[in-house]
Structure 1
Amino acid sequence: MPSLSTIEGKLRAYTAVLLALPLLASCIAFYAIIRQANINAAYHDIHTATSYTKDSINVWLGHRAGDIEHVASIPSALLKDPKFTSDFFESFLKSHADFKSLLLFDTAGNVNTSAREHARGNVADREYFARARNGLATITSPLKSRFSGEYIIIVAHPVRNEAGDFSGVLAGAISINTILQTFSLSYSSNSWRPFLLDSRTRLPLADMEAGTAKIIPPADGETDTPQIYKNTDNARVIGACMPVKDGEWLVVMERPVAEILGGMERMLLVLAVASLGTMVALLPYIRRFSSGVLGPVKTISALSTRMLEGQYDAECILIDTNKTPVEIATLYDNFCKMSERLIRYVEELEIYTSTDPLTGLGNRRSLQKEGARIIEMCRRSGAECSCLVLDLDHFKRVNDTYGHPTGDVALQTASAIIMRNIRKADFAARLGGEEFTVIASHTPTGQAMVLAERIRADVERTPITHDGHTFTMTISIGVAPVSASCDSSTTPLDDVISKADCALYKAKNNGRNRVEQWRAEDATMSCKHHL
C-alpha cells in the first residue's frame, strides 16, 4: 500500500473525493437534466440523419428522373432506328449504373426497344403508362417486374414526336436493392440503420409481400419532442420518421433507449452512495495535497511555457521541495535535466533539418528561409543581388559509368568548389540531384556572371578521383538578378530561381559547359530542363 507521503498514495486517497462528488452531483442531475438532455441530443442526431437521408433520396430520385427526361428528349426520329436506340440505351446504362434496364414502349404499351432485359409484353394497364400518355412523368412505388420478377421502381417519361404528339413511353427500371445499397439502408428494422416503408401499408419496401407492418414514431411535423415507444421487435426506442417521394414512402431511423443511456442509471446510483460516505472525511486532504503540489507544478508550468515559446535559455530555479511529495521533487529535477538536453537537441536538429547531408550545403528548407532573408535584406537596403542555378552536365553518365558512390564524390567536389568561390555573405544550397543554387548578396548581374564563370572554370579543371577512376566534369550555370517586383502569385525567391533556371535552360540548349544570363525576352520561353 503506497504511503500518503507519495503522490501515488495521495492520488489514491483523494481520487475517491474527486470521483464521489462529481458522480453524486451527476446522479442527482441525471434524473433532472442529463437523462432528458441525452435523449434530446440522441433524437436531434437521429432527426438530422433521417432528414439528410430523406433529402438525399429525394435529390437522387430527382436526378434519376432528369436522366430519363434527357433520354426522352432525343428526337423521336432517332429513336425509330432500332440499332441507334439499342446502342444508345446500352451506352446510357453503362454510364448510369443505378438503372437496371431501359425500355421504350410504343403508343399501345408494347415493348419497342429494351436494354439489359429481353422484355416482351404490354404495360398499357400500368398507372405510369397512363400518366405518361397524359403528359406526366412518374416515379412509381415498388412493383413486381413482369419481366424479371423482382421488386423495382419505374422512372417513366412520355416521348413525343417533332409535332409534339405522344409517341411512346421511356421507362427506366431501378432495383429497390439499388436504393437500399446506395443510401446504406436496412433491409429490416432491427439493424438500427434507416429503413424505408410504404406510407400506406407501413410495410418495408424491401419485402412488400412477406414483411410485417411496422410500428413507427409520428411523422416529421406532428411532434417536436422525442417519442419513446416499443417498436415491432418490442424494443424501447427513440425514432424519427419523415416522408419521402411526396409522402408515398417513409424513411425511419430508430435507436435503442438502452444504448442511448448506456447503463448510466444503475452506475450513477451505486457510485452516488459510495461518494456520499467518503465526501466529508476526505475533504481536508484535498487542501493539504494542493498546497504541497501547487508550488512546484506552477514553476514547471512557467518554465515549460517559456520553452514552448522558443525561449530555450530558460534556467531552472532552486525551489524548496522538502514539503512536496517525493514524486514531485523527482519530476522537477528530471524536468531540469531534460530541458538541458532539449536545448542541445534543438541546436542539433536545426543543423540537421537545414543541411543537405551529402554535400553539407543548405537544403530546400534552409533555402526558403535564408534565401528569402538575403533577398529581403538587399531590397530594403536598395542593393542588387543575384541568383545562380547550377547543374552538372551529363551527371547521369557519371552514375551509370562509375557508380553512385563515385557520383556522390563528384557532388561533394562540386559543392566544395562552389563554397570556395562564394563569400560568407552568400548562400549556397543543393536543390536536388545534381542541381545547386547560389543567392549572391549585394552582387549585380555583371559580378554574378564573373562568379559563375569562375565556378564553371574551376569545375572544368578539377579532376575527380575515386575508386581507381579519374575524370573531369563540366557545369552549366544560369544567372538572374532579383527583380524589384514580381507577380503576386509568387515570392521574390521563387521568381528569381525560376528566371535563373530559364537561363540554365539556355545554357543547356546552347551546348552546356557555359554561363547564360536571364534577359527580359526569356520571359516568354518555356523553361524545361534539358536532360
Structure 2
Amino acid sequence: MGRRYAFFSNQTIKMRFQLWIGLVVVLFAFSIIVTFYLIEKKDRLHEAENQLKQVVTLQSLYIERWNKEKLDVIKRFAVSDNAKFHRIGELRREFQDYERVGSEFALISFVEEDGYIRSETDPTLKVYVGDRDYFKYAMDKKNFISGVVYSKDTGMPIITFSVPVLGDQNEFRGAVVGMIRLEMLNKLMKQLSFGETGEVYVLDRDGNVVTASVDASNDPTFAQTQMTSEIIQRAKTKSNDDSAYVGFHGDIVYGQYKWASGKSWIIVGEITQKEVFESLNQLSITIIIISLIALIVSIFAAITIASRIEKPIRYLLRATKIIQNGNYDYQISPEKIKMAPIELRELCDTFNLMSEKLKTNITLLEHSALVDQLTEIHNRRYMMLEGNEQLLANIAANQTCSVMMLDIDHFKTINDTYGHLVGDRVLQHVASLLKNNVGGDTIVARYGGEEFILLVLRRNAQESVSLAEDLRRRLMDEPYVNGELTVKLTASIGVAEYSQTLEYGTMILEDMVSRADHALYRAKSGGRNRVELDR
C-alpha cells in the first residue's frame, strides 16, 4: 500500500493527467465495446435464425414437390388397366419405355398380391418382398415413401415409392414399386449451401441422413450416417428452442428444422456459431486496438480516434438495420459485387431470394390483418387504424364526416333457418352491396358478426342519413338469391356525425362509433328496418 502511495505521489501533473485520461479512455472504450457487442450479438443471432428458417422452408417445399412428382409417376402406373388386369408384360414394357426417356428411377417393379416379384421370362424365378414395409402399406391400400434403404445388389442408398393396385371392387391386386437413387436429390441439395459453414440436411424420422448440401459424392456411406445432435430431439418433441448446440460435425451451431412429406422426413439447416459471430469478433478486436492507440497518443488522439470508431459503427449499424427497420425487400445490387467470387455472388442471390420471399410473406400477413377473410372487405382493425387517420385528416381540412353502424335484422333467424353456410353468403352479399353502392368517399368494413361500419367522409349528417336510407332500400330490393332460395333482407342503421365534444372514449372515431351504436340501438328498438340519427 505504501509503495503504491509513493508511486502516485511522485507523479507529475502531466503524468497524472495522462493516467486519469488513459483510465477514462479505457473505461469509455470498454463500455462502448461491451454495449456494442451485446447489441450486435443479438442482431446477428436474429439474422442467422431468420436465414435458417428461410432456407429450411424453401428446401421443405422442394422436397414436398419432388416426392409428389415421383409418387405421381408410380401412381400413374398403378391405376393403369395393365396393372388392374395383371397384363404384366405390357405393364413392364410401360416401365421400360418410361425408364428409357431419362427416368430418375433405378427400378420400377410390379409386386403381385402374394408378395412376389416374378421374372417375365421365367415365372419360377421370383423374389419375395411381402415382409417389406412398402408392401405392407400397399396391402393396407396406402401409398408409401420410405426413408433411406440400401440396395442388397449394389449397396447404394435408395428411396422407395409404392402405390397399391386396386381392382374395380377396391380389392387389393398388388403394388407398383419404384426405387430411386439419390443423385438428383443430392444435386438439388448442393445448391442450398449458404455462407461458409451453412449446411442443409434431409433426414428420415430416425435421424438417418437422406441427403445433404455438402458434397457426399465421394462417400457412398454418407447416407448411412445417423445424426444424433440435439436438433433431432427438438424436432421429435416439437421444441421451439433456438439455443446453440453441438452439430453434426462436432461444432457449436445454431439450427432450425421442419417436418416434410407427412412427417416422414426432417429438413435441418445448420450454421456454425463461429461464422455467425466471426465478423463481430473481428470488429470488436479492431475497436480494442484502436482504443489502445487512443490511450497512447494523447487526449486529442483519443477524441479523434473515438470519432473514427463511431463512424464505422454507425455505418455498420445502419447497414445491419436496413431489414430490421422494415425494408424487407432490400436487395443487394449485383453491380456492387460483380467482381466478387462466384460463391459470394450466389450467396447474394440467395439473400435476395429470401428477402423477396420475406417481403411477400409480410405483405400477405399485413393483408390478412386488415381484411375480413369472409367478406373480403376491410375489418375492424383497418377501420380503427387507417380509417381513423383519414377521419382526422378530413377533420383537419374542416370537412364534415359521419359514421354509420349497420346491423342485419334477424340475422340469427337466418342462420337458424337456413344454416350458417347461407348465413355466411348473406354476409358476403351484404358486404358486396355496401361496397358497390357507397362511392369513393366511404370506407366499408365488417365490424363483427352481422354488423358493418361505414365511415362517410366529406358528408354531413343529412347526406349520410340519405345514403343510409338508399342502402336500406337497396338491401330490401336486392335479397340474397341462390337458385330457388331467396332470403329477404332488412337492416337497421345508426348514424352519428362528427362532434368536437367527445362523449365516449378518448378518440374521435371511438366517440362517433359509440354514438352511432346508440342510434342503431334506437333503430332496432323502434321496430328495425329503419335509420336513426344520433341526437
Asked if these proteins are the same fold (TM beyond 0.5), I'd say: no
TM-score bracket, normalised by the shorter chain, equals 0.3 to 0.5
Structure of higher CA gyration radius? 1
Q: State the TM-score, normalized to the length of structure 2.
A: 0.42
TM-score normalised over the length of structure 1: 0.42
